[in-house]
Chains A and B, each alone.
Chain A
Amino acid sequence: METPIPELGRFAEPALLILVSLSDGPKHGYAIMTDVEAGTGRPMGPGTLYAALARLEERGLIEALTPVDRRRPYRLTGVGATVLAEQLRDLSEFASAGLRRLGQASR
């Protein structure tokens, strides 16, 4: 399996969650935090959120839009959407392989 979102180290998982959150349209920071929390049941702190956002922006996977009421929305770039799709496919293959092994082991 590929390393999720390459070169992001310990921010790889938050970055993946952010990309998934942005996959249905642009969101500003607070909306991403609440969306991730609703989706995973775990809170994402503001320090972690902005560390991951900065890295994703540097790598061209997301881009900042014009601020609305001082809140700046972010959206996926074409590269970001491609990278996300590939990471999700890899994770899906990894999960399928794991489930197959589990099924074989329990027989």
Chain B
Amino acid sequence: MSHLLLALYPASWRTRYGEEFELILADRPLGPFDVADVLLGALDAHLHLRGLGAASQHAKGFAMSLRIGGWAAIAGGPLWFLGLAGASADANDGPGPWSGVMVAGTAALLVALTGLSAFQARRYPRLTWAAFALPAIGIVVSAIGAVAMAVVGDRPFLGDLSPWYVWMSGTITMFVGSGLFAVATWRTPTLSRRAAGLLAVSSVAVFAAVPAMTGLFAAPDAVITALFVVAMAAFVGGWIALGTSALRIDRSISSTLQGAN
């Protein structure tokens, strides 16, 4: 009886589940409920396998966005910081290699933000894409400012705005926007919540440091410096942790897809 019931399933399904399924059928006396359930299961397997190709492509798309976003996050945070630190330490005011490193890091962060948002959007599309918009705008503006600093130096461009002003505005928006992305990541909760917490800390630290830096309220230099150090460390650490958790999930999905093929 169990052989006959198993034969109703598609061959590819039997290859994967046949042996264990037959053991289950042998483990208990089959009543009318079980037979009807298995008949419906066989019908479902035939119908489901037809749609499996599309579902598999769907899952591969998610895995790909995680993989690209994960590697970009791991590379982007440290590259951006390395470029910033190098450019700050470089006595030469002209275009230098550090500006290129910073632009590369900024571009990688945009790729990371896009890839990870595409993955998270499958659950909360509105929240995710709303949280994507602000940091993405900040990253693009920051990259424009960085390129302009390398090309025109201190001369104004975009009306009276200096490249540094554009870069700084974009960078602050990127940090504050990362806080929104952290909220979406925390809410979704597939990627690391610890990483989301680090990004939120960096966002809050920048949010607190900027008014003091611009003289809106008085604060000792040591406090402002400490806030920026915390912001940078949490920002870089947060993106690395996000990327690592994305790659871990990608490995899990990819091994499942390989097992199914």
Contacts and interface: CB of A to CB of B under 8 A. Distances in A.
Contacts of B189: 82, 86
Interface string A57-84: 1111001100100111000011100110
B249 A51 contact: no
Contacts of A72: 20
A79 to B, nearest CB: 6
A64 B17 CA distance: 11
Contacts of B33: 43, 45
Given A47-B38, A51-B44, A60 B253 contact: yes
B41 interface: yes
DSSP class of A's interface residues: helix, strand, loop or mixed? helix
A55 B49 CA distance: 11
Interface in A27-55: 28-30, 33, 43, 45-51, 53-55
- Count class of interface residues, chain B: 35 or more
Given A45-B34, A45-B41, A47-B41, A57 B260 contact: yes
A103 interface: no
Contacts of A25: none
B259 interface: yes
- Count class of interface residues, chain A: 20 to 34
A70 B41 contact: no
Interface stretch (B51-59, B106-114, B149-157, B208-216): B51-59
Given A60-B256, A64-B259, A47 B24 contact: no
Contacts of A86: 189
A6 B123 contact: yes
A82 B120 CA distance: 13
Given A46-B41, A58-B56, A63 B255 contact: yes
Given A45-B37, A45-B38, A63-B256, A79 B190 contact: yes
B253 A28 contact: no
Contacts of B123: 6
A102 to B, nearest CB: 29
Interface in B1-45: 13, 16-17, 19-21, 23-25, 27-28, 33-34, 36-42, 44-45
Contacts of B25: 46
B126 interface: no
B248 interface: yes
B88 interface: no
Contact of B249 (A43, A47, A49, A78): A78
A71 B34 contact: no
Contacts of B248: 78
A82 B191 CA distance: 9
Nearest to A83: B190
Given A29-B24, A77-B252, A58 B55 contact: yes
22 contacts: A6-B123, A29-B24, A45-B33, A46-B38, A46-B41, A47-B38, A47-B39, A47-B41, A48-B41, A49-B24, A50-B17, A54-B16, A54-B17, A58-B55, A63-B259, A67-B20, A71-B20, A77-B256, A79-B190, A79-B249, A79-B253, A86-B189
